[in-house]
């Protein structure tokens, strides 16, 4: 299951065939150590944990490329990328690893998926760490038709869109830098997200991930998920996040999650891949061993 060491990020390649999909990923540490499942954010991949995972002491950290990301398969043409679509495969991956109980980390969109997984399987998730993400902004029930219309429109537009080809990989990395990543972090993420084509390189990432979801959770559904997080939970918030977004995230978490601690980490949204990684790792190590 685990393959060769990749010197770019210190992780070992790993892969699974689950429900007709190939999931690729990276693993750090010894397989007989306690397990941590790490879920990356939107348009990222398993290499998102290249800086953090080696600092998590005494654990076997496994980070899959979620479907449509990195080296993992894209979903079928008729399928979707709702935040709950990966849950059955993630449960099977944990089971194939032999983990009846495990610890769970998620960043951004991966944090949202982690809350869903932990709320559905609280008996299996020992501790939960959320990196600058908790739950998606709810949609009012009355806005459901408009959300459907937006999803249909996005799918039609994305199907017509031609993939951008970059003559050099460095230009793709620069595009990620413009979205707020440091040059080093952009390189780590981008290298696993590119494929070679005629004329240069383009993104491996499934373009459908840019489209709106057909269904979004209501406020009541989202709160029910957070209240079901009965395991100890730690939320690490980026200090450079938008103040209103940070307040909304932390207030909702404090109101709904029963056993929660919150810490602010200096840096931006990808603090776990940038200068804030040492502080984040220290906080996580203390939390995991409490």
The string of pLDDT tens digits covering residues 204-251 is 999 999 999 999 999 999 999 999 999 999 999 999 988 888 888 999
Q: How many domains does the chain have?
A: 1
Q: What is the pLDDT of residue 7?
A: 46
Domain membership flag for residue 20: yes
At residue 104 the predicted structure's pLDDT band, cuts being 50, 70 and 90, is very high
182 is catalytic: no
Tokens for 271? 């603090």
Look up tokens 């979903």; give the residue. 75
Domain membership flag for residue 194: no
Domain membership flag for residue 83: yes
Q: What is the pLDDT of residue 229?
A: 98
266 alpha carbon, distance to own chain's centre: 20
Mean pLDDT, residues 240-267: 92
Question: Percent of the chain scored above 90 by pLDDT?
Answer: 90
Mean pLDDT, residues 64-88: 97
At residue 179 the predicted structure's pLDDT band, cuts being 50, 70 and 90, is confident
CA distances from 96 to 14, 93, 102 (A): 12, 5, 12
Contacts of 143 (CB under 8 A, 6+ apart): none
CA distance 195 to 272: 25
Mean of per-residue pLDDT scores for the chain: 94
Domain membership flag for residue 184: no
Q: What is the pLDDT of residue 42?
A: 97
Rg (CA), the chain: 18
Domain membership flag for residue 171: no
Task: Indicate which CATH number applies to the domain containing 76.
Answer: 3.40.50.1820
Q: pTM for the full model?
A: 0.95
Domain membership flag for residue 54: yes
Q: What is the pLDDT of residue 248?
A: 87
Domain membership flag for residue 201: no
Exactly one of 48, 67, 72, 108 is catalytic; name it: 108
Strands (E) in the chain, as ranges, are: 2-5, 12-18, 21-28, 35-39, 60-64, 102-107, 125-131, 194-197, 200-203, 233-238, 260-265
Q: What is the pLDDT of residue 246?
A: 86
Q: What is the pLDDT of residue 2?
A: 60
Domain ranges, residue 92: 2-139+216-288
Q: What is the pLDDT of residue 136?
A: 84
Domain membership flag for residue 159: no
């Amino acid at each position: 299951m685990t393959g060769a060491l990749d010197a770019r990020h210190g992780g070992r390649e790993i892969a699974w065939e689950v429900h007709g999909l190939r999931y690729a990923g990276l693993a750090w540490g010894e397989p007989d150590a306690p397990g941590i499942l790490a879920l990356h954010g939107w348009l990222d991949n398993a290499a998102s944990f290249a800086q953090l995972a080696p600092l998590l002491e005494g654990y076997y950290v496994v980070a899959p490329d979620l479907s449509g990301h990195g080296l993992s398969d894209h979903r079928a043409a008729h399928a979707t990328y709702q935040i709950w679509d990966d849950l059955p495969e993630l449960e099977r991956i944990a089971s194939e690893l032999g983990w009846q109980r495990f610890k769970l980390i998620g960043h951004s969109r991966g944090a949202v998926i982690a809350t869903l997984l932990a709320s559905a399987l609280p008996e299996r998730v020992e501790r939960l760490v959320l990196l600058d993400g908790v739950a998606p902004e709810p949609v009012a029930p009355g806005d459901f038709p408009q959300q459907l219309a937006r999803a249909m429109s996005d799918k039609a537009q994305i199907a017509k869109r031609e993939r951008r080809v970059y003559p050099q990989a460095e230009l793709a990395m620069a595009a990620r830098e413009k979205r707020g990543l440091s040059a080093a972090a952009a390189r780590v993420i981008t290298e696993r997200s590119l494929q070679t084509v005629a004329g240069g390189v383009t993104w491996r990432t499934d373009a459908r991930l840019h489209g709106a979801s057909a269904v979004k959770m209501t406020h009541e559904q989202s709160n029910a998920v957070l209240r079901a997080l009965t395991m100890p939970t730690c939320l690490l918030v980026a200090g450079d996040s938008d103040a209103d977004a940070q307040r909304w995230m932390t207030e909702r978490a404090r109101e709904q999650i029963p056993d929660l601690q919150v810490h602010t980490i200096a840096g931006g949204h990808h603090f776990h891949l940038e200068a804030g990684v040492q502080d984040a790792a220290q906080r996580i190590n203390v939390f995991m061993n409490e």
